[in-house]
Amino acid sequence: MSTNKIKQITLAILKPEIVQMRLKTEAVFERIHNEGFEIVQQRTFQFSPAQAKRFYYPKRSKFYFKRCIRYIITGPVIACILSKHNAIEDFSILVKGKEGCRENSLRARFASNETMNAIHCSDTQDDVRREIRLIFPNFNHEPWYPKYPE
């Protein structure tokens, strides 16, 4: 458990193949809840190609960039801002698993393959801020970040 006393936020996106299957969606949300995450805000929508390109822009030089765009626009997604102490790292572990121990992760359970990987998680605090701004443009980030004396 983190020594961080302030709750963090992170972004979760349940991708089209999960959203199309209500039982899988329910199972993912049950696991998120059981791991101690709170849903701060949630929205269901479908990415346009332009939105998807902006979202995945940091990955533009990766070989899988175009595959990610094609996949994410195939159907509705559910985006959630999640809150918990150490949210970014804990959600990443929940989604991807730990190195050498991936079988209990959400992707191990629900992903079809590496591109159709079921669930998105933000990797860093900068990613969280950028991605939430794109998906929840009116969300107020300020209460979620500690104020340090100068």
Q: Which tens digit of pLDDT belongs to each residue from 36-74? A: 999 999 999 999 999 999 999 999 999 999 999 999 999
Q: What is the mean pLDDT of residues 103-128?
A: 87
The reported pLDDT for the residue numbered 141 is 81
Domains of the chain, CATH where assigned: 8-138 (3.30.70.141)
Asked whether residue 150 carries a pLDDT value surpassing 60, the answer given is no
- What are the tens digits of pLDDT across the range 50-59? 999 999 999 9
Q: How far apart are CA 76 and CA 127, in angstroms?
A: 22
Burial letters 17-55, b for 16+ CB under 10 A, else e = bbbeeeebeeebbebbeeeebeebeeeeeebeeebbbeb
The reported pLDDT for the residue numbered 45 is 98
At position 50, the amino acid (one-letter code) is A
Q: How far apart are CA 107 and CA 111, in angstroms?
A: 5
